[in-house]
Every structure is written in structure tokens, then in C-alpha cells.
Structure 1
Amino acid sequence: MSRRIKFILLSIFLLLLAIPAWHVGSNWNPPNPLRFRLVSRENVREIDGRVMERVEVEVLNTSTSPRYIQATMLKRVHESYDPFLTVFDSGTVIPAGGTLRGGASLPLAQGDSTEPAPLEIACYQASIARHRLLPWYLWLWTRLPEFLKLHLWVPDIYVVSKMPLESSF
């Protein structure tokens, strides 16, 4: 085989290898891939002797790859202590460009105001490629000798995002 044919075959192989590498790299950690929107807020329902409000949230995935949600927590912005409430189940996958709805029941705000207190959401999420890296990485980590573990970088698999809820009404 001539050198020119070897070079052409190597170029085609590298090009075909670069396409999935580019796709994974561009979707590894896009900036702000999820948008959370407050869909509805229903007041005054009594659960276990406490007055609660039901909050419904919609999440939109703006990236070109599915996102894996490890945890989402909802809380009031101005209250010093408010228990974090899970909006979506752990392990939820939002398809690329897709939306998903979830909700939680919050205790009513402590203030005297009749206006509903603003809410913020914290989300631990990752691309599917990042999420699939975690078990492989932990498998590798347990099998390495101690002197190599000292030099090995520990990646942050899940990205933490905190943002106020956008209101739809």
C-alpha cells in the first residue's frame, strides 16, 4: 500500500474518531443547560396540621444532550432556614430539548405579607456522558495503588446550579 493511501485512511479514521469526541466534549458541561419555571402555586392545604402550599415547577433542557438529574431542591429565598424539598426524583433524565414537570409542598412563609415569597431552586445535574463516567472512575480508583491515587485528579461529576424560579404568571 502506498504512503498516500495510508495517509488518507489514517485521516478518515481520525476524522471519524473526532466526531463523537467533539459531541461528548461540547455537551460535557454547557453553561446553564436547564431552565426552571414556576408553573403554578396553590395555597392553603392542611397536611399533618401544617398549612402548606403546592408548587409546580417545569424544567426545560436547552442543551443538545440529555441531562441526568441527581437532585433538585426548592426553598424560599429570604427565609433563614427552610427545609430543602425535592422537586424531581433522583435519577430523572430530561431528553435533549425536552421539558419535565414536578412539584413539592412547602410550608407557608413566616412573614405577614400576602404576596408569595420568591423561591429558588438548586440542582445537581450532569450530562449522560459525565454520569456514566462516575462508576467507571470509581472502579478504576479502587484498583489503583496508593501512590498513584495521590496524583490522580478527582472530577466533579455533578454540576451544582442555584437560580431563582422564573415565573410564568
Structure 2
Amino acid sequence: MLAPLQRLGDAPRRAALLGALRRAYLLALAALAVPGLLIGVPFGVTSSPAPNSAALLGLGASALVCAALALGLAHRKARPAVPGTPEGRDLSVQAAIQAASAPAVPLLMACTQLRSPLTLLALLALTLLALAVGWASLTLWARRAGRPDAAPGDAALTDPAVTG
């Protein structure tokens, strides 16, 4: 799972960087979600439903704010990435790992609301939205930090057998 991150080199191409960012994003999401699910699901099963709609609305609003803040901080982390540099590569990987907390927060909140179906569905929808926004951001960060992919006619310029 971590091999694509190790093989990036100092100045990765956009396609290789995007694949590595996707793996880092999913690995970080799993690292956050699996322990949270193991704790949140039993808590959600044994707890009583929230008493009123104001509490549920507050829970949904706080999940939205947390997800938005996590994505905003990840974008801020990736913004100074310089294309084709080791620093740009590192900033993009760090941003991908940081962005994984955006869908993790509403997912963990959803686990605690297993007995409130409407709140559960709303938080799961927010989880999917944050996941999609984070996934789309990876493409932007790879485009910003990676070297352009070689065109099919450029193989002679990059092939060591041809350049000697």
C-alpha cells in the first residue's frame, strides 16, 4: 500500500503522484475510521436517540463545520506546492492525509446516531460529500505539484536507451 509513496522520487509525474495521493488518502481515512467504527457503533447501539431536533441539527452543523475546516486546512497545506519539487510532492501527500479527516468526522458522528435514522442518513450523506470533495481535490493537488506527464511522442526524449 505504501510502495507508490516510496517510488515517487524527487519530481514525480502527475499520474504517479495522483495514484500515491489516492492511496495515502484512503489509508489515512481507514486509519481514522476503523478505530472510530469499533468505538462508535457499540456506543450508537447502546445510547438513546437524541432528545430533540435542535440537538440533531447542532450535531449536523458541527459535522459540516468540522469537515469544511479539515478540507480548508488541507487546501491551505497544498497551496504553496511548487511543481516538480520534493517539497511540492511532500506538501501534496501531507494535504491528502490531512483531507482524510473531512469524511471521517461525520462518519464517526453518524456511528453514534444509529438509533436516529434521519440524523444517521444526513450524516452519512455529508460523509459521502466530504469524501467526494476530498477525492476531487487530490487531482488538483497532483496537477499542481507533479511534473506534466510525457506526451506519446516524447518517449525518445526520456528513454535512457535512446539518450545513451
Name the TM-score class by shorter chain: under 0.3
Give the TM-score, by structure 2 length: 0.26
* Larger strand percent: 1
* Larger helix percent: 2
Which structure has the higher relative contact order (CA within 8 Å, separation 6+)?
2
